[in-house]
Structure 1
Amino acid sequence: MADKLAGKVAVVTGGNSGIGLAIARRFVAENASVAIFGRNEKTLNAAASELGSDCFAVQGDAANHSDLQRLCEEANRRFGGIDILVANAGIFEFGRLAAVDKASFDRTSNVNFSGVFFTVQAAVPYLREGGSVIL
């Protein structure tokens, strides 16, 4: 069962921690090549080091279209396409509903909604036939 994803390429946003890192670990365990994406350079580098030589990291922000484009272009350049895209990056600011201001709402929406849409848009040109997108 450890070779279920051999020869496949997975891209995981938010792959530097939490659920995204757990997903990336599973893909690596199944012998996929993995690109992880996240904002925090320290946790991103630690995750890439843990995941091993068939993984690389791209630092960026899911709210930034050019960062997402760079991620997908780099995955294509290194691995020749994308088989699995996991749009996992997300943020949440804890607080009272009445205290949420427009800037905080916009920041959250730019990552959690727009970021997901533009992650998929950036990946579409590189998705191989039969590829999967997981939102």
Structure 2
Amino acid sequence: MYTVYLAGEIHSNWRESIIRGCEGYDIEFLTPEHDHASSDDIGKNVVGDQENNFYNDHVSAKINSMRSHTYIKHADIVVVKFGEKYKQWNAAFDAGYAAALDKKLIVIHPQEFIHALKEIDGAASAVVESEPQVVDILKHLIR
């Protein structure tokens, strides 16, 4: 059995397509909070409005990092998706953290990001462009 953490962009349902594609295989999936509003507002909701966006984001990031860092440490494989619409600094951080922990890393991104992500790609065990390719890799590992 593998434990796989699905890190990266939170603006699409890419995680669900990987999880559905691997149904019936012995894989445990872990994810960050992917309800964007819940992730952004957890700090305010717990400790109250800090009356400054920097501090509201700072508190939320510290709370969210408890989950993501714990799950990355627990995972055998970390899949990181870089989406096309937004800059995903959090995805780059998660990829770097996973690489520092010597986790096996699968990176998903479009061709046009090759140059920008060359260092992250260099640390990865696999670099792909789509979720079905990740499903194929995970199924191959389980066979």
The interval holding the TM-score normalised by the smaller chain is: 0.3 to 0.5
TM-score (normalised: structure 2): 0.44
Which structure features the higher share of strand residues? 1
TM-score (normalised: structure 1): 0.46
